[in-house]
Structures are given as structure tokens and as C-alpha cells.
Structure 1
């Protein structure tokens, strides 16, 4: 999808149907076929009648002169089946951006009933990587980590595919200019860079145009440690993001030993043990008044904290 089509997501010119036009075409076809049959031999006439029946069935289904296209995201009737079928027929590592988006839309619409669901799940299990050129010439690698996992910010349902960066192409970044976690991930410098500034601008237009805005749950207050007794305070709130850092809960599931919140559900990729070959740097979960968590791909218990100004790597996620 090109950038010019971003605001028309899910509305395909091929899917616009003029019902009256279909009936007129049908009547004209009947007239033409009738004249041809008069002058054609029996063999030709039979072939024409067969094609006529196919056209009639198409008109009755309301799809004359078009290929039905579904709206993007949840609540959709699916996407261009030809593109989905093309994706299913090839190795997932060879999927184009258009095919990745088509698969995402079909899974969002049909969940496990989508013919592409099993293929995408196999790509998670195989840790299949895709790649795209950043605007600075570096190659960004990314992989699928979730299916129908993230909520679309417009409330229309789920994003069919969630991806996470799989290499260090974005380089070291700091969370904030000063050592603070006040405001959590929401107010962090890196979040601003990912959604409208330096990091966002590194993404090629063709990739940005496919990204869907999703709702993320985070500790956007700052650190609140577990109390020794009584009810745990609620410290999470929601943000809308196109590029986002993963959270502690999204990687390891549940709470950490010091946290009193759960900031998102664990992604399928990590639930299946996809730690060893992952690349982690900053995650959006604060660990102390001055430090955020960082993570390294050694085992499920590997997490450390770093001062906000430290240049750890950025490995954001995004959704189609």
C-alpha cells in the first residue's frame, strides 16, 4: 500500500459496486449471446452458454466487474482472497508487504478460520524474519510475535499481526534526557521519537503506511512497588501507538518481583519460548524512579535495569 492510500485503508476501488450497472450489463450480455447463438454452430453455442452461466452466477452474487475487498482490522469481511492465496502458496519469508498486510487483515476478520492463520502461526514457530530498508540505508529485520493480539485504537477489533524488530538496525537510544521514569513510557522521549520524530522517520513510507494504531497498557505514572499487604494500587493507563516498546508482561507474562501491575498480555512468540534468538534492549516498563527495564535474550529470567539516559538498543514492535 502506498502512502497516498493510508487514509483510505480498507476501501478498495475494486470493491465499489454499482448494482444498477450490474443489471444493465447482464441484460446486454443476454442480448449479445442470443444473437451469437443464432449464427454459431452447436459447439460454439454450448461454450457460450457455459460462460453465460458463469456470468449469471457472478451477477447473482453481486460481484460483477469487481473483486470484493474487506475493511482493514476487526469486523472486516476479509481481504483480497487472491493476495491471501498467493501468500499461502509461498514460503512466509518471501511475503511482500502487501501480502503481510493481506494476511493480517484476513486473520483480523476470521481469526483461526482464516486460511492464512496456520501459515502465520508456523512463521512464529519458525522465527521467520522479514526485512525492509530504512531511510538511512540500513536493513531492518522483524518477525511476527502475535496473532490477533493487540486492540486497534479505533475500536474496530484486533490487529491481525504484531511484529517486533529482530536486529539492532535502529541503534542505541535513550529513554529520556534525564534519569527519570516519571510519566512512565507515555511521557518518555523515546516514545515521542517512535511515533512522530527521529525513529518514525527512519521507517520507509511503504512500511509506515501499513502500520495500525493500537492501544497499549503501560505504567504511565512511574514506579509503584508492591505493598507489604492490602490491595495493590492501580498504576496502568492506556496510550495509542504505532511503534511501541514491548513491556515486561508482554515478554515474560505476569508481574515482576517488584511490580504491582501487569502491562499487557504475553505474546505468543514469547509464550512459546522465543527468547534465545530474540533481541532486546529497552522495554517500556519502569523498574525504579530513575531506571527502566532492559532485557537480553538469554533466558526467560534475564532482565536488568538501566538508567534512562543509557544508550541501550531500541527494538520497537508494530501491528498490521
Structure 2
């Protein structure tokens, strides 16, 4: 399951659209809302979700975190998630980053105050990176070069300041030891992250390696957007296809030099050398 796909695709236009498609070492936590802006919530309720601004997305997330399904905007956010509605933000390099909702009240805030209302995942392919400078998965996600770039380095710095100020740090579970047979019973540990990659178990309903490598079932649970759509744990899933391969934060269970990625056909068990460059489909929470 090796091979590197390094094709760069045309950048996505800086428009808002709708469709279906497939830390800081310990960053500062966002904290829960002490009461959301009701006027902004009502504005969001009245608008088509695809037209929500960044400010409205944040307030919607906080209202859902506070009120759950009782939030007046919950149904609209869920419908946007189910329809794979996308938004766009302009990065500091002038390129566009498109993204969609994949989770509702799914991720735990790093400060322990509750859930983050919405989790987002990018759908564009113009952010590329290797996982590490060398061909190793030792230390897993926690010690990876890409994690440092995403939480305080060059990838984080691509995000505009208005976006950065809204992101909440969340608690992510990962095998932060490494792959290979000597680590088949590795325990997962938590990191605090502002931007993160998805794990294998956050994508699939069950782990292909559940019996041989139990930790592959314990790096978080499947996001709501994938339920009923991502059904294959070791094969193609159409809704995961974005036109290129994209990294997961999970190490390959079978060796000490690969990380898992979702290949261009939508298989979440593809793997490649940590030193190769693939798309970074970063995720975050408001």
C-alpha cells in the first residue's frame, strides 16, 4: 500500500458553494460560551446556511454547544452537514480554502468545559505537507512535524487572523508511540490541538485492524457526516474522494515509517512514507 501521488490540482475559487463530495504544543483552549449572541443566531436562522459568515458560523457553533438540538439553528446546521455544504475563506497567501461541517457536538474542548459545537474539515487540495522530515512515525501525531506546522507554524500562519481568533482547542486521542508489531497494544494519549488531522477511527465505523491492533479503534469515534456514507473500513468510499490523497494522523499499524492516508479513490487504509508530501485536510472546531 505504498506510492506517492504528488499531483497538484487547480485551486478552488474563492466562492461559497454547496454540493456533495466526498499546538502550540498544548494550545490555549477556547472555552464554552457564556451565552451566545441571540441576534446573530436569528440572522443565521433566517439565512441560507451557505451564506453564513465566519462570525455567524462561530455563533451558530456556540449556540449548538450550549443548547444542543434545542438550538434554533441546529436543524439548519445539520442539514448543511448532510448536504456537504461548503464555505470558503481566503488564506494569507491569497489562495482559497474550502471547508464543510463534519461533526456536531462531537469534539471535547481542551479546557474540559464541554463540547465544541461544530467541527469542520477542508475540502480543497492546495495545502500540502510531509508528516515528518524523515521516514518515521515514531512519536505519532504528537511529535510529528506537521502537527507543529498546523498549531503554531507555517500552516497555522496561512489562516487569516479573523479565522484564528475563532478556533477552539480540542482534545484529540491518538497512538502517539508509533506503528509496527512491537506497538500493537499501544495506548492512545491526548493532545490539545487547534488544527488537526482526522484519525482512521474518526473516519470509519469499525477498524479493519481491531483484533490485531486494538488502538486503531480508540483514536476517536466516526464523525457524524460520515455515518452511513463511509461504510468500508478497507476499501473505496466515494464521499472521501477530493481529487488527491490526504493524510490521517494515525500511524500505519504494520510498520514504523508510514502514516495512514485516504487515497485518491477514497480508501482510508492507504499508507505512505512520513517524508512524502500529501494534501493536508486540516480540521478544526468553532
**Which bracket does the TM-score occupy, shorter chain normalised?**
0.7 to 0.9
Give the aligned partner of residue 23 of structure 1.
Answer: none
1:255 shift after superposition: 2.5
SS of the residue corresponding to residue 194 of structure 1 reads helix
SS of the residue corresponding to residue 182 of structure 1 reads coil
State yes or no: 1:187 paired with 2:152.
no
1:113 shift after superposition: 0.7
TM, length-normalised to structure 2? 0.80
**CA offsets, 1:225-270, max 9 Å, x none?**
499xxxx734210000000000000011332325321211110011
State yes or no: 1:151 paired with 2:103.
no
Contact 1:135 1:201 (C-alpha < 8 Å) held by counterparts: yes
Equivalent residue for 1:105, pick from 62, 75, 99: 62
Contact 1:144 1:161 (C-alpha < 8 Å) held by counterparts: yes
Segments of 4+ in structure 1 off by > 6 A?
none
SS of the residue corresponding to residue 89 of structure 2 reads strand
2:124 & 2:179 partners in 1: Cα distance? 29
Q: Which runs of 5+ in 2 are unaligned?
A: 1-27, 231-236
Give the aligned partner of residue 132 of structure 1.
Answer: 89
Number of aligned residue pairs: 243
Contact 1:181 1:292 (C-alpha < 8 Å) held by counterparts: yes
Equivalent residue for 1:254, pick from 200, 206, 209: 206
Q: Highest CA radius of gyration, 1 or 2?
A: 1
Contact 1:185 1:219 (C-alpha < 8 Å) held by counterparts: yes
Contact 1:78 1:110 (C-alpha < 8 Å) held by counterparts: no
Contact 1:180 1:289 (C-alpha < 8 Å) held by counterparts: yes
Equivalent residue for 1:266, pick from 218, 222, 245: 222
1:169 shift after superposition: 2.4
State yes or no: 1:177 paired with 2:142.
no
SS of the residue corresponding to residue 104 of structure 1 reads helix
1:88 shift after superposition: 1.0
1:201 & 1:116 partners in 2: Cα distance? 31
> What is the aligned-residue RMSD (CA, Å)?
2.0
Equivalent residue for 2:270, pick from 304, 309, 312: 304
State yes or no: 1:122 paired with 2:79.
yes
Q: Which runs of 5+ in 1 are unaligned?
A: 1-6, 10-71
TM, length-normalised to structure 1? 0.72
- Structure ranking higher in helix proportion: 1
Contact 1:224 1:235 (C-alpha < 8 Å) held by counterparts: no
SS of the residue corresponding to residue 203 of structure 2 reads helix
Alignment of 1:1-320 (within 5 A): 73=32, 76=33, 78-170=35-127, 172-223=128-179, 225=181, 233-257=185-209, 259-261=213-215, 262-273=218-229, 275-278=237-240, 279=242, 281-287=246-252, 288-296=255-263, 298-299=265-266, 301-320=267-286
